Amino acid sequence: MRGTKFTVRGWEAVIAFLVHKDGDDVGIAVIDLKKGMTARGKTLTGNREYSLTVLEDIPFGHKIALKNLQKGDKVVEYGEIIGVATQDIPKGAHVHIHNLRSLRWGGE
């Protein structure tokens, strides 16, 4: 029956974040990331692995910076531009609406 087949196994030896495409600036947390932890990540195809220190708590589903980004940098996910950094974003920081803005809507 539903719900029994795919019971979550726990997050042991986990991949903590996933990256859509090699070269992306951000990854997506697939567990709640805690400040100070070393997080392992990989691309969806598994062709590249990452390991970095998490600078602040990042909830499940939210983005983590994979490299240092400067204010004004275009931010890439899926190999495509998803917006612009509105402040400097260090590697390992939470990337969301407080430091990332659409290039299509919401401009001054």
Partner 1 sequence: MERTVFAYRRKDGKVGVRNWVVLIPVDDISNAIVETVEKSIIGVLSLPHSYGRLQFGKDLDLFFKTLIGIGTNPNVAAAIVVGIEPKWTNKIADSIAKTGKPVEAFWVEGHGQLRTIEKVSRTAVKFVEHVTNVKREPADISELIISLKCGESDTTSGLVANRVVGKFVEKFLDIGGTVLFGETTELTGAEHIVASKFKKEEDRKKFLELFNEYQELIRKQGVDLLGSQPTEGNIVGGLSTIEEKALGNIQKIGNAMINGALDFLEPVPGKGLYFMNTSSAAAEAVTLFAAANAVIHLFPTGQGNPVGNPILPVIKITGNPKTAKAMEEHIDVDISGILTGALDMETATDLVWKRVIETACGRLTRAEILNHKEFVLTKLYRSA
- State the minimum distance, in angstroms, from the CB of residue 79 to partner 1: 9
How is residue 43 written in tokens?
Answer: 């691309």
Alpha-carbon distances, residue 51 vs 4, 17, 25, 27 (angstroms): 32, 10, 14, 11
Which CB sits closer to partner 1, 52 or 63? 63
CA distance 45 to 32: 22
Per-residue contact track with partner 1, 33 to 72, x per CB under 8 A? Answer: -----------x--------------xxxxx---------
- What's the number of CA atoms in the CB half-sphere (13 Å) around residue 67? 12
How is residue 4 written in tokens?
Answer: 């029994």
Which of 1, 6, 46, 108 is in the footprint of partner 1 by CB under 8 A? 6
CA distance 106 to 108: 7
**Which one of 33-41, 46-54, 73-81 is the stretch in contact with partner 1 (CB under 8 A)?**
73-81
Site membership for partner 1, residue 11 (CB under 8 A):
yes
| Footprint of partner 1 (CB under 8 A) | 2-3, 6-9, 11, 15, 18, 20, 28-30, 44, 59-63, 77-78, 80-83, 95-97, 100-107
